[in-house]
Amino acid sequence: MISEAKSKAANLTCWKGLVDPEPLGGGITNTNFTVEDAGKKYVVRIGEDIPVHGVMRFNELAASKAAHTVGLSPEVIHSEQGVLVLQYIESRTYDAEDIRKPGVLEKIVPMLKKVHHEIPKHLNGPSLVFWVFQVLRSYRGTLRQDGSRIIDQLDRLESIANDLEQGVGPIQLVFGHNDLLPANFLDDGNRLWLLDWDYAGFNSPLFDLSNLASNNEFDEDMERSLLEMYFEKSVDKALWQSYSAMKCSSLLRETMWSMVSEIHSPLDFDFIAYTTENLERFEGVYESYQTNRNS
């Protein structure tokens, strides 16, 4: 697959001369390369629609363009079916420890507000909705249909998801990034950039907030600081319960995403190990959620 993707990246019509794409690691949804052409450097993302995950490239393209317009993401240089070419940013990719460093949240929270409220003003054409509980329902159907190795756990996970949806309660609708892994943040030495709009769509702000926290292993003090910064008010019991339910849901979605990927992804990645890791994290957070809710 990597050779086919490299050939596709090398033969795009946007290049001025012959290019030799270099593999760029880190992605588990796309195959990525860097390309140097006419003295400039680019990132090429190769990936078709992934209906089983709700990834539709027209949506990613529109979100990427809007994110550049509002100053969050690199410029889209070229696009065609299954291909996105982006301006290369000389930068350092973050890890979870970087996200947790003092002062970083103060940079990220304004970025999230811009995602949520400014990007919709610049979206052209239709856009997707990313409602995590519908995603979970779809994943359960896929796992049952395709004979997942964890099929005996699906009834319990369905019951938990229904409980969590009730726990989240009414929501505010904003535009979400919905995949706030640390590697989707770049630091160029002067500012942060936010990448990868595969899963972008309208959602509750609580999903991005809890997704950021769970993906980067925030402790409770940092979670409360995040909520206070974002909502500009103290965290009351109702907000904390809604947030905590959404955090469980975010972890369950990551787990079931991996379960589905075990069956459907062509990429060379240990999805079984990723499922195991995320399922353990989900069970721990859900147990804590139940305890706190009943106390």
pLDDT digits (tens, 9 = 90+) for 241-257: 999 999 999 999 999 99
Let me know whether 51 and 145 are in one domain. Answer: no
Let me know whether 155 and 113 are in one domain. Answer: yes
13: tokens are: 């019509």
pTM of the model: 0.94
Let me know whether 80 and 97 are in one domain. Answer: no
**Measured distance CA(5)–CA(265) in Å, rounded:** 15
Let me know whether 185 and 147 are in one domain. Answer: yes
Query: What's the pLDDT at 27?
Result: 67
**Measured distance CA(60)–CA(244) in Å, rounded:** 28
Q: Residue 42: how many CB atoms within 10 A of its CB?
A: 23
Last residue of a domain, one of 55, 87, 119: 87
Let me know whether 177 and 243 are in one domain. Answer: yes
**Torsional class of 189: left (φ above 0), alpha (ψ -120 to 50), beta (otherwise):** left
Q: What is the pLDDT of residues 44-68, one digit of tens each?
A: 999 999 999 999 999 999 999 999 9
| Cβ contacts of 242 within 8 Å, gap of 6 or more | 167, 168, 169, 206
Let me know whether 105 and 251 are in one domain. Answer: yes
- Estimate to the nearest angstrom the gap between the alpha carbon of 149 and the chain centroid: 25
Instruction: Provide the domain limits for residue 38.
Output: 2-87
Last residue of a domain, one of 87, 108, 128: 87
Q: Looking at residue 45, which CATH number applies to its domain?
A: 3.30.200.20
**Given a cut of 80, is residue 134 above it in pLDDT?**
yes
Let me know whether 102 and 64 are in one domain. Answer: no
**Measured distance CA(218)–CA(187) in Å, rounded:** 20
Let me know whether 161 and 100 are in one domain. Answer: yes
What's the rounded mean pLDDT across residues 74-83?
A: 97
Let me know whether 114 and 56 are in one domain. Answer: no
Let me know whether 104 and 226 are in one domain. Answer: yes
**Given a cut of 90, is residue 263 above it in pLDDT?**
yes
- Estimate to the nearest angstrom the gap between the alpha carbon of 222 and the chain centroid: 20
Shortest CA distance to 52 belongs to which of 145, 160, 181, 156? Answer: 145
| Helix %, strand %, coil % of the chain (to 5) | 55, 15, 30
**Given a cut of 80, is residue 188 above it in pLDDT?**
yes
Q: What is the pLDDT of residues 79-113, one digit of tens each?
A: 999 999 999 999 999 999 999 999 999 999 999 99
Q: Using alpha carbons only, what angle is made at residue 17 by residues 11 and 19, rounded to the nearest 5 degrees?
A: 55
- Helix (H, G, I), strand (E, B), or coil: what is residue 217? coil
Please name the residue ranges forming H helices in the chain.
2-10, 57-69, 96-99, 105-117, 132-145, 154-168, 205-215, 220-231, 237-264, 271-294
Let me know whether 267 and 129 are in one domain. Answer: yes
Number of domains in the chain: 2
Let me know whether 83 and 98 are in one domain. Answer: no
**Given a cut of 90, is residue 25 above it in pLDDT?**
no
Query: What's the pLDDT at 292?
Result: 86
Query: What's the pLDDT at 1?
Result: 60
- Estimate to the nearest angstrom the gap between the alpha carbon of 17 and the chain centroid: 34
Last residue of a domain, one of 50, 71, 87: 87
85: tokens are: 């070419």
**Given a cut of 90, is residue 143 above it in pLDDT?**
yes
36 beta partners = 41
**Given a cut of 70, is residue 5 above it in pLDDT?**
yes
- Helix (H, G, I), strand (E, B), or coil: what is residue 133? helix
Q: Looking at residue 112, which CATH number applies to its domain?
A: 3.90.1200.10
